[in-house]
With several copies, the nearest count.
Chain A
Amino acid sequence: MPRVVVDVVLKPEISDPQGQAVLGALGRLGHRGVTGVRQGKHFVLDVEGTPDEAELREIAENLLANPVIEDVELHLSGD
């Protein structure tokens, strides 16, 4: 597992002004088929040696994400 992807998204109950702004822009540009946008962060980590899932989960959940307002998705498979 040389490459790990972590997606960080705002918890559903937290407002997402960035996603709202993108949605508004899409509407004004005539892309009406998109009805919702949430914006998060996407991290690509290069990992060396034995992959330790617990450590990666710890990194993702407590460092890459702000656990107060964000959830994470860990994709160990790489891309």
Chain B
Amino acid sequence: MTVDTVTRAGETPDEEQPWRELGLRAEEYARIREILGRRPTTAELAMYSVMWSEHCSYKSSKVHLRTFGDLPKSEALLVGMGENAGVVDVGDGYAVTFKVESHNHPSYVEPYQGAATGVGGIVRDILTMGARPVAVMDSLRFGRADAPDTARVLPGVVAGVGGYGNCLGLPNIGGEILFDDCYLGNPLVNALCVGVMKHSDVRLAKAEGVGNKVVLFGARTGGDGIGGVSVLASETFDADGPAKRPSVQVGDPFTEKLLIEACLEIFAADLVTGIQDLGGAGLSCATSELAAAGSGGMRIDLETVPLRDSTLTAAEILMSESQERMCAIVEPAKVEEFLAVCAKWDVLATVIGEVTDGDRLLIDWHGERIVDVPPRTVAHDGPVYERPYSRPADLDALQADLPPVESTDLRADWLAVVGSPDGCDKSWVTEQYDRYVQGNTVLAQPEDAGLVRIDETSNRGIALALDGNARFARLDPYTGAQLNLAEAYRNVAVSGAVPLAVTNCLNFGSPEEPEVMWQFAEAVRGLADGCRALGLPVTGGNVSLYNQTGDVPINPTPVIGVLGVHADVRTRVGGGWRAAGETLLLLGDTRPEFGGSAWASVVHGHLGGLPPQLDLDAERALAELLAGLAADGAVTSAHDLSDGGLAQALTESALRYGVGATVRVEGDPTAALFAESVARAVVTTTDAAAVRAAAEAAGVPVTELGTTGGDALVVEGLVELPLTELRTTWTRTLPDLFGHPEDAVGAVPTGAVPTS
């Protein structure tokens, strides 16, 4: 087969090219021809098609995401959006980088490997910034918990998240796992990684310095996952499931662990001038982005790329999304030392090209030029669409369909809510994750936020929470996005940390549907407005579109991550009650708000009305109060109120260490127990007067709920729930569905034969 060289492309302008099969539109193909002044070569066409896919180019979402860039400058932001991940100053010379990313479609096709490689990808993003990854989190959505396909997908996804993260030595410090019919053919797997470095260690993806070498290191390049992420993430699955199977990749966490150690040693010895991970779009992405960010050009000898499969074509090599690879720019004098570090860690490293003084990205294949393009046009000048949007036609009816407001059986409803798949104990999942490795995990699941010590001497730490209520976002995406932000913010605050920055993963349906586009635009606008009000920067994030089965999109699911800083993790506050005789105080106001609530959903199968009213001033006041109380050691526990309201929070706090409580509630009992009003938390204290005084000073309403102690949760005159009964209801849900680990063998759900 003749190689399609640049010269040949000039000579055969009319040759048919498979641009449509590669997912390009007629006008996009025409634009490529216009940029190049000729038809693209096969290799160039491959590069443009993957880089201009929705997943890599953000072509539908870009116009909206710009809003985040318009937020007021934050002092804490060292590197903003646009790099692999944003970097935040957390004090004492430390910088933190964190980001959440989706791997939804690959996880549906192959749950274990899809989830595993999702973790692998986000960890490389963090590593690329120069940071040591220190923890991961995961936010998961599945179809109805008892649906047969959930039994196929969930165990694999959980094992994959654990299998990869555990093997890398990254503690999993929290996340979410929620169920809804809308995710049945389209589960969501969002993974977060956070890394820590010193300010001076920040690395950027930039190819600078004429004559510097381009080094590809890590795993060999194979034929798996060609076009995988970008293609999978950029199309809708029809009801029969995915058609594209071979684009699945097998993760190799061991190689990634070696890559991490090698990179950290390389950073410490100052051996790179620029570095980029290989994720979606593989080498196409890494070479074009590195070159586009630098001042010169780049030339690559593609035949030097180490292959696992010698039959790969040049275009396939450029598109391959083989995992566990990185690309670095290294000064010639440092190449030898760079290669030596890689050899020490058994990491394969190869010089594949160099930085040039031109402004072109040139790729040769056995001496023949197959790519000659302006790198920016590949990396950044992809199409941008202002897609039409319109408010969903059913939204007025949905918002007018008000939820029930009165419980007919508080006790039964309580048990139903805390025993529901969303409300129940998640140990079945979280026990599969290593939370202890690295020895710095101060708080992890089931706490509201994960908290990691970053300095053993000063006891400085960082807190993180991920929240993404999709029912609220369905009812009102603008407010829903802000409510998710508020919840994550509050979760960070209850640990005693000060919220500092935001990341997000926006999971939506097809952008080609105007109603989905409207949900997306509204959620982005909401998140931006919320961040402005709270004074937090958005440091980065990820957009996952085309999450739908047939023409039914998922509920809009903006998953929001908030990072906080904890000046002294020894003063952290957990959510469980440890002792009897302490005073229980409710901070914040409760209103009869049931729209999108867990209670309306679980007990009445109802979704309608409006989500709870947002109050970011109240959130801010509560957060500042909680930080102060923690620093003063004034509270012995704190737990935020969100899904399932007070009933859920009391249950979790009581069952943590097996300490009950007796409480009194005023007013409407249904609202008191199940409403999901914002800006609330329950705290325990041995000095109620001090907490009251602080709350009053902060303008936060306080209500005395009662006293801890006993082996039941008693709401005087209303409900009495023995802890043993509560515990049984709360803990049995997931094991009943997915197997009791205690049953030694044979507990594997039908259809999921574990053979690996």
Contact = CB atoms under 8 A, between A and B. Distances in A.
Are chains A and B touching in the complex at the 8 Å CB cutoff?
Answer: yes
Interface of A: 8, 10-18, 20-26, 28-29, 39, 41, 43, 63-69
A76 B248 CA distance: 30
Given A15-B252, A17-B255, A69 B753 contact: no
Contacts of B751: 25, 29
Given A10-B250, A68-B109, A17 B753 contact: no
A24 B224 contact: no
Contacts of A18: 754-755
A17 B747 CA distance: 10
Contact of A66 (B110, B252, B744): B110
B112 to A, nearest CB: 8
Given A12-B309, A15-B252, 12 more contacts: A8-B755, A11-B246, A17-B255, A20-B252, A20-B745, A22-B754, A24-B745, A41-B755, A63-B753, A64-B755, A68-B109, A68-B110
B746 A69 contact: no
B748 interface: yes
- Of B246, B308, B754, B755, most A-chain CB atoms within 10 Å: B755
Instruction: Say what secondary structure dominates the interface of chain A.
Output: mixed
A22 B755 contact: yes
Contacts of B754: 18, 21-22
Interface residues of B, number: 32
Contact of A15 (B250, B346, B750): B250
Contact of A69 (B222, B250, B254, B745): B250
Given A13-B309, A15-B250, A15-B308, A29 B750 contact: yes
A25 B250 contact: no
7 closest Cβ contacts across the A-B interface?
A24-B746, A17-B252, A20-B745, A13-B223, A25-B753, A17-B745, A28-B750
B437 interface: no
B212 interface: no
Contact of B245 (A8, A12, A68): A68
A29 B249 CA distance: 28
Contact of A17 (B245, B248, B250, B752): B250
Nearest to A22: B753
Interface in B103-122: 109-110, 113
A21 B110 contact: no
Nearest to B221: A15
A29 to B, nearest CB: 6
Nearest to A21: B748
B166 interface: no
Contacts of B255: 17
Contacts of A21: 254, 745-748, 753-754
B322 interface: yes
Instruction: Say what secondary structure dominates the interface of chain B.
Output: loop
Contacts of B309: 12-13
Contact of B346 (A8, A13, A24, A68): A24
A13 B755 contact: no
12 contacts: A8-B755, A12-B309, A15-B252, A16-B250, A17-B744, A21-B748, A24-B745, A24-B748, A29-B751, A66-B755, A67-B245, A68-B245
A69 B156 CA distance: 14
A60 to B, nearest CB: 11
B243 to A, nearest CB: 12
A69 B248 contact: yes
A42 to B, nearest CB: 11
A13 B224 contact: yes
B219 interface: yes
Nearest to B311: A13
Contacts of B222: 13-15
Nearest to B748: A21
Nearest to A65: B755
A64 B753 contact: yes
Contacts of B245: 67-68
B755 A39 contact: yes
Contacts of B254: 17, 21
B224 A14 contact: yes
Nearest to B246: A13
Contacts of B250: 10, 14-17, 69
Contacts of B747: 21, 24
Contacts of A8: 755
B748 A69 contact: no
A25 B322 contact: no
B390 to A, nearest CB: 38
Contacts of B252: 15, 17, 20
Interface in B642-692: none
Interface string B388-411: 000000000000000000000000
A34 to B, nearest CB: 12
A3 to B, nearest CB: 18
Interface in B244-268: 245-246, 248-250, 252, 254-255
A39 B745 CA distance: 14
Contacts of B750: 25, 28-29
A9 B223 CA distance: 17
Contacts of B219: 15
- Of A20, A23, A64, most B-chain CB atoms within 10 Å: A20
Contacts of B756: 41, 66
Contacts of A20: 252, 745-746
A40 B750 CA distance: 22
A64 to B, nearest CB: 6
Nearest to A29: B750
Contacts of A63: 753
Interface in B56-92: none
Nearest to B752: A25
A23 B747 CA distance: 11
Interface string B728-756: 00000000000000001111101111111
Nearest to B113: A69
A17 B308 CA distance: 11
Contacts of B220: 15
Contacts of A23: 746
A23 B346 CA distance: 13
Contacts of B752: 25
B257 to A, nearest CB: 11
Contacts of A41: 755-756
A68 B753 contact: no
B382 to A, nearest CB: 29
B95 to A, nearest CB: 32
